[in-house]
Amino acid sequence: MSVLRPLDKLPGLNTATVLLVGADDALLQRLADSMLKTDCASELRVHLARSLPLPSNVNRPRVDLLVFVINLHSKYSLQSVEKSLHHVDASFFLGKACFLATGGGRLP
């Protein structure tokens, strides 16, 4: 288990890998399916994780964009993202990471 760094691996030709991190598996899967349905000139790969750190694996692809998904109605969702932030290199936050808040329009 290690810190996720943006430049650990060389980029693939015409490929992009997005890592969605969040506690709500169903929401992450719907978001991933939606992303994969869009027409794109390059190959898009989407991986899901409940939290970081990811297991150390030599075959793990390079992560081009890191998306933290937070459900505004779940305290556990925010805590999971907060704990995951400790396992991300600071240079990831220079255009390679974002936060997506969900559940703002729904009543609890």
CATH node for 15-57+71-102:
3.40.50.300
- The model's pTM is 0.88
What are the structural domain ranges in the chain?
Answer: 15-57+71-102
Could you count the other beta carbons within 10 Å of the beta carbon of residue 81? 19
Q: Which pLDDT belongs to residue 41? A: 85
Q: Which pLDDT belongs to residue 106? A: 60
Per-residue pLDDT of the chain (108 residues; tens, 9 = 90+): 577 877 777 777 889 999 999 999 999 999 999 999 988 888 999 999 999 998 877 678 889 999 999 998 889 999 999 999 999 999 999 989 999 999 887 665
